[in-house]
Each structure stands twice: as structure tokens, then as C-alpha cells.
């Protein structure tokens, strides 16, 4: 699809994040509510029903929002059991049984395909899914530029979390990317998003960046990001505080709290 619809605004409200805020529910997880003029999206559902309670506090109705799950990890999808109805878009591998290397703890979803299909209209796809002419679920992200992992499958082979995906929204100035955990890696994610949308510039990235340490790999990614002159970063969830401070030295970084929103035009 190449028809680019220029919307006049996009608003992203933080429903769940790791960083606590007095009067709001926080947890290790992520949930975002995305609004454009014609579309509402609930992107990830955290670990518990906290995102629903925060949405109610913020005066947000999720009834008509398309549900999108970025990948099959507990802290992004276990909150699905507290909501019913509507379409749920995700990669078909979200039901993979997966574990941490360091302690063999389980971090996959509680719910299986059958239980989710009884609650939602499932649309599982490795290929990009266009919600509108200006919003696309990116599907499986090719790992052209490497992909390290600290997770494994039931047979103990590496889990490269191939279900990890994101969405992109398009304007005539460039694209905005919303990611859950960025397990695919920033360079792979951006390369794929630009390829799918045929956009020439990147305007923002919002969500978990899965960046934990200030090291040479981080510097490589920062160097890559600096080529996008209009870029705004909104690092959440699995982005460590020391990384956020480093990012602020080289890039435009915004850090909204739970219940707060960031507006893009």
C-alpha cells in the first residue's frame, strides 16, 4: 500500500510503564493508547489489569480500540485476560514457550491460542498488516544486522523472539514507530519500517528499546540514530535509566509518565 494519508495529529498515552507515579498503577510492563483522527489502538496490555484501571482514571475508553500485541512476553500480554472483544493483531509465534537463560524462568504468555481466539478476533500475520492507509503493523522484522538473545526455547535452542514487532504511522514528513521491547534491535526495526512504508525519514520512536548498558553497542546505535535530524525518542519500559541519560546527551528525548500523553503532529 502506497497511499499516504497525512493525519494532523497522533496522541500516545502511557497506560502502563515500569516507572511509578503517585496515584497511578505501575508494573514491569508496557501498555500504550494511540489515537489518530480516524483510529484508536491499544498497543500491549501489560502484566495485570493495571492498564484498564489507569485508562479509566484518565477517562479513556478502550472499547473501540484495535488490540495489537508486540510480542509474546508475559509483561506485554498477560493483561489480555482482563479484556474481551475486538480484533487482536500479532505475529503467529506469540504462543511460543520461552525462558530466560539466566534462571530458566518462564516468560511466555499465560493464555494459549484457543483461549485468546475465544476472546478476540485473531489476526496473526508474519507479513505487514495495514490497519489504514497510514498505520501498519510491521509483521516479522528481518534480522539483517545481527540479533543477540538471552532467552531460549523448550529445546534450549536460542529464542530470537521472531514475533517481536511494532507499528508505524505515516505522515508526509516521515514515520513514527511504536515498539514494545525492540528485541529485533533498533537498526533492524528502523530498516524494516522504512522499507515497508517507503518513507524517507524517521520522526519518532516510542516504547521499550531493550537497551540496558552504556557500551560500544549503544554508541553504535546512537550514531545510527543521529542521522535522523527530526527524531524524538520516547524511551519506556525496558530502557534503563543510565541509557536514557546517555541518549539525552545526543538526541531529543521525551519522558512522559503513566497517565500522561505525548502529541505528535
265 residues of the chain, pLDDT tens digit each:
333 445 558 999 999 999 999 999 999 999 999 999 889 999 999 999 999 999 999 999 999 999 999 999 999 999 999 999 999 999 999 999 999 999 999 999 999 999 999 999 999 999 999 999 999 999 999 999 888 789 999 999 999 999 999 999 999 899 999 999 999 999 999 999 999 999 999 999 999 999 999 999 999 999 999 999 999 999 999 999 999 999 999 999 999 999 999 999 7
User: Could you tell me which CATH number the domain at 10-264 has?
Assistant: 3.60.15.10
- Output b/e per residue, 44-83; b: 16+ Cβ within 10 A: bbbbbebbbebbeebebebeebbbbbbbbbbbbbbbbbeb
Query: Rounded CA gap, 65 and 63, in Å?
Result: 6
pTM: 0.95
State whether residue 231 is helix, strand or coil. coil
Q: Which of 134, 207, 138 is nearest to 174 (CA)?
A: 134
103 HSE (CA, 13 A, CB side) = 3
Task: Work out the angle between the directed axes of helices 241-250 and 216-225 (0-180°, nearest 10).
Answer: 40
Contact partners, residue 156, CB within 8 Å, separation at least 6: none
Tell how far CA 214 is from the center of its chain. 22
26 HSE (CA, 13 A, CB side) = 13
Amino acid at each position: 500500500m502506497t497511499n499516504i494519508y497525512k493525519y494532523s495529529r497522533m496522541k500516545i498515552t502511557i497506560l502502563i510503564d515500569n516507572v511509578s507515579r503517585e496515584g497511578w498503577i505501575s508494573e514491569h510492563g508496557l501498555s500504550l493508547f494511540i489515537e489518530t483522527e480516524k483510529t484508536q489502538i491499544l498497543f500491549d496490555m501489560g502484566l495485570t489489569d493495571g492498564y484498564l484501571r489507569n485508562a479509566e482514571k484518565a477517562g479513556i475508553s478502550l472499547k473501540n480500540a484495535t488490540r495489537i500485541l508486540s510480542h509474546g512476553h508475559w509483561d506485554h500480554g498477560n493483561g489480555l485476560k482482563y479484556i474481551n472483544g475486538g480484533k487482536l493483531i500479532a505475529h503467529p509465534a506469540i504462543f511460543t514457550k520461552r525462558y530466560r537463560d539466566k534462571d530458566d524462568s518462564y516468560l511466555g504468555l499465560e493464555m494459549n491460542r484457543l483461549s485468546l481466539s475465544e476472546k478476540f478476533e485473531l489476526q496473526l500475520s508474519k507479513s505487514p498488516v495495514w490497519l489504514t492507509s497510514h498505520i501498519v503493523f510491521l509483521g516479522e522484522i528481518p534480522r539483517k544486522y545481527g540479533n543477540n538473545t538471552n532467552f531460549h526455547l523448550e529445546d534450549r535452542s536460542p529464542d530470537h523472539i521472531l514475533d517481536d514487532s511494532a507499528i508505524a504511522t505515516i505522515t508526509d514528513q516521515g514515520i513514527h514507530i511504536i515498539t514494545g521491547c525492540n528485541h529485533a534491535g533498533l537498526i533492524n526495526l528502523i530498516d524494516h519500517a522504512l522499507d515497508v512504508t517507503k518513507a524517507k525519514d524517521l520522526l519518532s520512536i516510542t516504547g521499550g528499546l531493550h537497551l540496558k548498558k552504556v557500551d560500544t553497542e549503544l554508541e553504535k546505535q546512537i550514531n545510527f540514530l543521529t542521522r535522523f535530524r527530526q527524531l524524538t525518542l520516547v524511551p519506556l519500559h525496558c530502557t534503563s535509566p543510565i541509557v536514557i541519560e546517555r541518549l539525552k546527551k545526543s538526541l531529543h528525548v521525551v519522558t512522559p509518565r503513566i497517565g500522561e500523553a505525548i502529541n505528535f503532529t
